[in-house]
Amino acid sequence: MRLLRPLTGAAAIVLLAGLVGCEPLAERQLEFSDTERVKITEIRVAPGSGDLVVRTGPVADVEVRRVIRYRSGNPEQHTYRIEGSTLFIDIECGRACSVSYDILAPAGVAVRGENGSGDVSLTDVAVVDFTVGSGDVAVSGATGAVRAETGSGDITLARLPGAVAARATSGDIEGRELGAGKVQAETGSGNITLTLSTAASVEARASSGSVTLSVPAGGYQVRTATGSGNAHSEVPNAPDATAVLDASTGSGDITIQQR
């Protein structure tokens, strides 16, 4: 059995919130702020219910701010641990309990894991591999490959030079300043809007929704298919090009623009 790492410098403040609707018990809140004198290279997330914010900066340590919200009993307070250079965080803290995190980590940290319910915001990290059951996912400035998935919610991507794979069962996918890596975007119900900063291959598929691609000058193979809707491309099809723009929708329009 692995022991939890003791929290250092933890300051807990219990706040009593007002009653919400007809809930029989008031929501209580515990706040913690900790600095761990370890340079981490990876964050791994175990699912639960709560929001997650990860940012990086010119720091050697990792700062972990947590808010535990609960209605009764004694919630689990030891919700993270460090093993080697990996920070393991748990968004589960018991019945009717959620944990939200705001983490400042050194540059180059990778983020992997999943969450049941809550929004995820990742800024200037490295590799991303994350799944959310219900909630929005925002990734900006990641230097490595990005895989982001949500069952219900929107995905927002920005300033990503590497390969991207984004999937939303129900929600929009928007990407800006996407780089040379292949971009794959799929949504069951929602719109896809992608802007490339460098010529690259794109595969965009919407079961129900529109697909809009904006690409820089260059040669592309262009493939479009729509079950119900119109397809319009300003980009001429170049059969011998290495970059491929492949857009399809079951119900919705397709627009491919060249800047």
What does the CA dihedral 76, 82, 54, 30 come to, rounded to 10 degrees? 20
Q: How far apart are CA 176 and CA 182, in angstroms?
A: 14
Average pLDDT over residues 148-162: 97
As a whole number, the mean pLDDT across the chain is 90
Strand partners, 178: 160, 196
Map 63-122 to HEC letters.
Answer: EEEEEEEECCCCCCCCCEEEECCEEEEECECCCCEEEEEEEEEECCCEEEEEEEECCEEE
- Tell me the range of 12-21, 84-93, 142-151 where mean pLDDT is highest: 142-151
CA 128, 130, 131 angle in degrees (round to 5)? 160
How does pLDDT run across 1-14, given as a tens digit for each residue? 333 444 444 444 44
Q: What does the domain layout of the chain look like in residue ranges?
A: 1-109
pLDDT in tens, 194-252: 999 999 999 999 999 999 999 999 999 999 999 999 999 999 999 999 999 999 999 99
Is the entire prediction scored with pTM above 0.85?
yes
Question: What is the torsional sign of CA 169, 152, 95, 8?
Answer: positive
